[in-house]
Amino acid sequence: MIKRPFLGIGKPKLSYALVPDEVQELKVPKSVTLLLKDDDPGPGGGIEAGAAVKTGQRLSKSPESPNYVVSSVTGTISAVFPYAGTFGQIYPYAGKFGHPCTAITIDADEKDTWDDEYKGEATLDTALRFFGCLPGKPSFQAFADPGKTIRMIVISGQDQDLLLTANQAIVQNHMAELKAGIKVLKEMTGVDRVLLTVPEAMVQQAISTGAEVKALSAVYPAGLPHMVMKDIVGTVVPEGQSPEDMGTVFISAEAVAALGTSVETGRLSVSKMVTVVRKGGNATNLKVRIGTPLQVLLQGCGITVQDRDRLILGGPMRGMTTYSGQLPVEADTDGLVVQDRAESPLLGDHPCINCGECIRVCPVKIPVNMLIRFLEAGYYEDARDMYDLSCCIECGLCAYVCTSRIPISQYVDLAKRELALREAAEAENE
Amino acid sequence: MNRELTDKKLVVSHAPYWHDGRTVSSRYRQIMLAALPAVLMGISQYGSPALGMISLATASAVAWEFVMNLVLGKRITVGDGSAAVTGLLFGMLLPATAPWWIVVLGTFLAIIVGKQIFGGLGLNPLNPPLLALAMLVISFEGIFDFNAALRNYELGFAMTYPLADLKALGTAGIDKFAIGDLFMGKQIGGVGATFGLGLVIGGIYLLIRGYVRWELSLSFLAGVFVTAWLFHLADATAYAGPMFHLFTGYTLIAAFFLLPEDSSSPVNFIPMLVFGALAGLMTVLIRNIGAYVDGVPFSILLLNLANPLLDKIRPKAVGKVVENA
């Protein structure tokens, strides 16, 4: 954890980890668990215990369903059960906290047998059908959406959160695949303008990919899509909208490299690069099969976890803690940060003392001191209309600097969710 | 499988998982630490009465907060240090010989009337020590007559309150004060308010550590300086120069300890500058043409009232869609 330096007139600066950590590949685990987004969780549609699956096989409950997973190993399904979300509950609504899932556990054989349904095509249809489970979880929905005109693709060659270096490692080590992926991406989507954002030091190296290379600031939150839109692309995303609404799709460098490999070899990439950060801050990039249980990663790095430690999926500013080491690495799990209980900051119940730290640190200039008063009182509509709730990009910096240690991020999340539920209810009544 | 890990109880919480390490109580401890040089100088000048008065102010402020916590049935908040800071700052404004009942009444006004009835920490619209001071000044005549209060002291420099001399005699009355002596604390006044060097050291410490917003302190000092300088230019015999105003009365303690009080001051950049500069302007206006000897309490309280309005001057949030009717 980075504490505030002794002297600090201005706002604290949190810097990204820019130099890729050493890469280490783990062998195929004994079993993997895949999470299939599913409105009716449980076995069905041929996905049941005892079924044999091959590496790269597309698993879906019905041929029409848009939801699928790609098996990352060859073996036999040993269990199919409804999955409890990160917080131990099945959430009845879609969104940040997840969607009901069916967890499919597959006992892996040592040798891979590759499925031959995917043969190396590179069209938008195959992208929707197969590429949604590539490492990095690229989404091609926006290209197929007639309501959206996509004019630009931004490839993130720098991780969005602190400490993580998985994408930096891809840019450093997998230049050829990245180049191939960019070519495929351009042909597949028909989008000409492809930006590649990398740390300053990697600009020279990245130019050879043929993309338009832009250097990102090393200071958090420069890597978040909304900040890249504002600082690099030059388009401010209006509140309540996404970069895709503005004609820009974000894809991680890892996903693009996986795309390149998959199209070239005709085999879907099934390995994910995960930055594992030990308690001391020492990090390793592990290349593992998607679905590998987290504890296999921890064992691979020789990490022991104690009671009341935290396991953070993602980075320290925006990640999600998880309650069990048995949960799997998913296609979009960029990092696994192990935080010692002594390092975990406690929240307080002091009221806002109006010190103004949050105002200075907010990258989108929200009057957090006023916002939090409205959120605490439950006036969510006023918070949105007068104090810019919907402009929040959830970088977490205000909570990081809060002297009173108010759970600001929790309040913001709660308010956004309440407002979304109210809007949904209103739409239903009309 | 590693049974050991699956048995472990992990903590699940919301991002972010980092914090810069500061707390409310560490903030107030640092403010008290920064106030110490000026307080120690006051105690060394005025001896045990000053020590007793400062201690009583701090202790009674904490006691009032404790009483109010009990009365309101709230969590006991005396440990966070905010009451102690309020009491300490209030004590620093008083003459060393202030009677005990003034001290206790003052901290009652500061803690209960100034803070707790508005909801406690973070919710006070006015600066508590200054509110208490102002209420005492207008309630009891002569209670802040430093010349009378400190008449039994002989410390080796002019034993008259510089601002009172200025008010009564014009610049002719302040020839005996050298600017350097004033800055080194060779003047009478509030126990913790006269030692300019100590206040500046404490203030700069708070500034560079980020506990006090520099915009507030510096714009206040600039406001005092410029206004006093303009008056001095207009009539050098009636109005003292800017340095005199900076180093006398409550100017320095206001700049670094009173004006930047969190709850009653703005947080946005432009409002902070306006707030500080206007408070500085008002201070000198009251000193030069108003009825009171020192304008600091009233100028800051007045600007405190304007704070919510001033703080509405803020940048548009990135991405905010303003719908014009």
CA-nearest residue to A242 within chain B is B319
Query: Rounded mean pLDDT of A206-214?
Result: 90
Q: Please list every residue in chain B whose beta carbon sits closer than 8 Å to the beta carbon of residue A313.
A: none
What residues pair up with B221 in beta bridges, in sequence order? none
Residues whose CB falls within 8 Å of the CB of residue A184, separated by 6 or more in sequence, listed in order = A122, A259, A260, A263
For residue B172, report the phi and psi dihedrals to the nearest 5 degrees. Answer: -60, -30
- Kindly state whether A403 is in contact with chain B, defined as any CB-CB distance less than 8 angstroms: yes
Residues whose CB falls within 8 Å of the CB of residue A80, separated by 6 or more in sequence, listed in order = A42, A43, A47, A48, A49, A102, A103, A104, A105
CA distances (Å), A213 to each of A155, A162, A261, A295, B295, in order?
Answer: 9, 21, 21, 37, 59
Q: Please list every residue in chain A whose beta carbon sits closer than 8 Å to the beta carbon of residue B1.
A: 295, 326
ipTM score for this prediction: 0.91
Residue A174 has pLDDT above 60, yes or no: yes
Question: By three-state DSSP, how is residue A54 classified?
Answer: coil
pLDDT digits (tens, 9 = 90+) for B67-91: 999 999 988 999 999 999 999 999 9
Percentage of chain A with pLDDT > 70?
A: 96
pLDDT digits (tens, 9 = 90+) for B231-257: 999 999 889 999 999 999 999 999 999
Query: Rounded mean pLDDT of A280-303?
Result: 93
The per-residue pLDDT for A97 is 55
Residues whose CB falls within 8 Å of the CB of residue A101, separated by 6 or more in sequence, listed in order = A35, A36, A37, A38, A41, A82, A83, A85
Distance from CA of A117 to the nearest CA of B (A): 33
The per-residue pLDDT for A326 is 84
Residue B228 has pLDDT above 60, yes or no: yes
The per-residue pLDDT for B255 is 97
Residues whose CB falls within 8 Å of the CB of residue A417, separated by 6 or more in sequence, listed in order = A95
CA B209 – CA A250 distance, rounded (Å): 39
The per-residue pLDDT for A87 is 53
Residue A96 has pLDDT above 70, yes or no: no
pLDDT band, very low/low/confident/very high, at A91 (cuts 50, 70, 90): very low
Which pTM was predicted?
0.91
Residue A405 has pLDDT above 80, yes or no: yes
pLDDT digits (tens, 9 = 90+) for B90-101: 999 999 999 999
Residues whose CB falls within 8 Å of the CB of residue A125, separated by 6 or more in sequence, listed in order = none
pLDDT digits (tens, 9 = 90+) for B141-200: 877 889 888 888 888 888 899 999 998 888 888 888 999 999 999 999 999 999 999 999
CA distances (Å), B312 to each of A199, B201, B268, B316, B317, in order?
Answer: 38, 32, 8, 11, 13
CA distances (Å), A34 to each of A28, A82, B272, in order?
Answer: 14, 11, 54
The per-residue pLDDT for B6 is 59
CA A239 – CA A391 distance, rounded (Å): 5
For residue A415, report the phi and psi dihedrals to the nearest 5 degrees. Answer: -65, -45
Specify burial of residue A365 (Cβ count, 10 A radius: 0-12, 13-18, 19+): middle
Of B235, B236, B226, B248, the residue nearest B294 (C-alpha): B248
Percentage of chain B with pLDDT > 70?
A: 97
The per-residue pLDDT for A102 is 86
CA-nearest residue to B28 within chain A is A403
Q: Please list every residue in chain A whose beta carbon sits closer than 8 Å to the beta carbon of residue B11.
A: 308-310, 321, 341, 344
Amino acid present at A53 = V
Residue window 340-399, chain A: list those with CB within 8 Å of chain B. 341, 344-345, 348-357, 359, 363-367, 369, 388, 390-391, 396-397, 399
Of A238, A295, A297, A241, the residue nearest A273 (C-alpha): A297
CA B238 – CA B202 distance, rounded (Å): 33
The per-residue pLDDT for A321 is 87
The per-residue pLDDT for A93 is 42
Residue A86 has pLDDT above 80, yes or no: no
pLDDT digits (tens, 9 = 90+) for B27-42: 999 999 999 999 999 9
pLDDT band, very low/low/confident/very high, at B304 (cuts 50, 70, 90): very high
pLDDT digits (tens, 9 = 90+) for A117-149: 998 888 999 999 999 999 999 999 899 888 889
Tokens of A251: 């894809």
- Kindly state whether A203 is in contact with chain B, defined as any CB-CB distance less than 8 angstroms: no
Query: Rounded mean pLDDT of B11-22?
Result: 89
CA A412 – CA A415 distance, rounded (Å): 5
For residue A59, report the phi and psi dihedrals to the nearest 5 degrees. Answer: -110, 125
Other beta carbons less than 10 A from residue B183's beta carbon: 20
Distance from CA of B291 to the nearest CA of A (A): 33
Which H or E element spans position A194?
strand A193-199
Helices (H) and strands (E) in chain A, counts: 13, 16
CA A232 – CA B37 distance, rounded (Å): 49
Residue B3 has pLDDT above 50, yes or no: no
Test A325 with B5 for CB contact under 8 angstroms: yes
Percentage of chain B with pLDDT > 90?
A: 77
